[in-house]
Amino acid sequence: MNLPSTTHLVLIPSFNPGRKVLATVRAARAQWTPVWVVVDGSTDGSADWLSAEAATDPGLRVLVLTENQGKGSAVLHGITLAAQAGFTHALTMDSDGQHPETLIPDFMAASQAAPNAMVLGKPVFGAEAPLVRVMGRKLSNGWANLETLSLGIGDSLYGFRVYPIAPLMKVMHGTRFMRRFDFDPEAVVRLCWAGVRPINLDAPVRYFSPQEGGVSHFNYVRDNLLLSGMHARLLVGFVLRLPLLLWRRLVK
């Protein structure tokens, strides 16, 4: 069993993932201690399954929100308690098995070697990846690179990444946004604005069919509208920060 870390934890926000969550959490626990799961108002029974798992595993902690508040809110809830417990960094990953748990130690090691940076997963897609999702993220990545003057965001949407907790909490408390699906791209843009350097590491992403237990809560209309509004806001922030960003590019 891996030795417990006192600085870095795995944080898994989770909303109605189905039975995949148990395999995901067990796989993460095989790679790292501790692992925390934030159950974000799930109604699929996963809070009970995970609580039963945690009762026999001291390296697993389950936090249950009674109502669904969104991914960003779940992450903020988790990192707030993590900071109170003395943790400095959190690796976030999805609960549905799409992210490569075997790379957790590599991402943590990269973070430990550069604690002031954020370590971002850069997705490597398999043949099963939906084309509309692959093309859609290219558009979001283009906007994110514009909004940061290409300071090094390899992928703005992939949620397998290690955040330094203190600057993430600061940028989240500075806005009422970043609380739902818009969390991942807005977090990396705002952290870049705050001077947090991105480190990009390749990481495979898996898409499971419904027959394989795959669950997706992505709504093409709702979530694309959310992302469009987010990038409109970030463009305003980009213009206001343009002199500082240009200076960083010159001295980089």
| Coil/strand/helix, residue 43 | coil
pTM tops 0.85: yes
Q: In this predicted structure, what is the pLDDT of residue 86? A: 98
| Residues near 204 by beta carbon (within 8 Å), at least 6 away in sequence | 100, 123, 124, 125, 126
Q: How far apart are CA 40 and CA 14, in angstroms?
A: 6
What domains are there in the chain, each with its CATH number? 8-251 (3.90.550.10)
Place of tokens 């009970």: 48
Q: Encode the chain (252 residues) as per-residue pLDDT tens digits.
A: 588 999 999 999 999 999 899 999 999 999 999 999 999 999 999 999 999 999 999 999 999 999 999 999 999 999 999 999 999 999 999 999 999 999 999 999 999 999 999 999 999 987 777 666 677 778 889 999 999 998 899 999 999 999 999 999 999 999 999 998 889 999 999 999 999 999 999 999 987 655 555 556 555 566 667 778 888 999 999 998 888 888 877 776
CA-closest candidate to residue 8, choices 107, 76, 75: 107
Q: In this predicted structure, what is the pLDDT of residue 227? A: 78
Q: How far apart are CA 136 and CA 143, in angstroms?
A: 11
| Residues near 40 by beta carbon (within 8 Å), at least 6 away in sequence | 13, 14, 15, 65, 68, 69, 70, 71, 73, 74
Peptide bond into 34 cis (omega under 30): yes
Q: In this predicted structure, what is the pLDDT of residue 247? A: 84
CA-closest candidate to residue 184, choices 161, 201, 213: 161
Q: In this predicted structure, what is the pLDDT of residue 252? A: 66
Q: In what order do the strands lie in the sheet with 89-92?
A: 60-65, 35-40, 8-14, 89-92, 161-164, 118-125, 198-205
Q: How far apart are CA 204 and CA 235, in angstroms?
A: 30
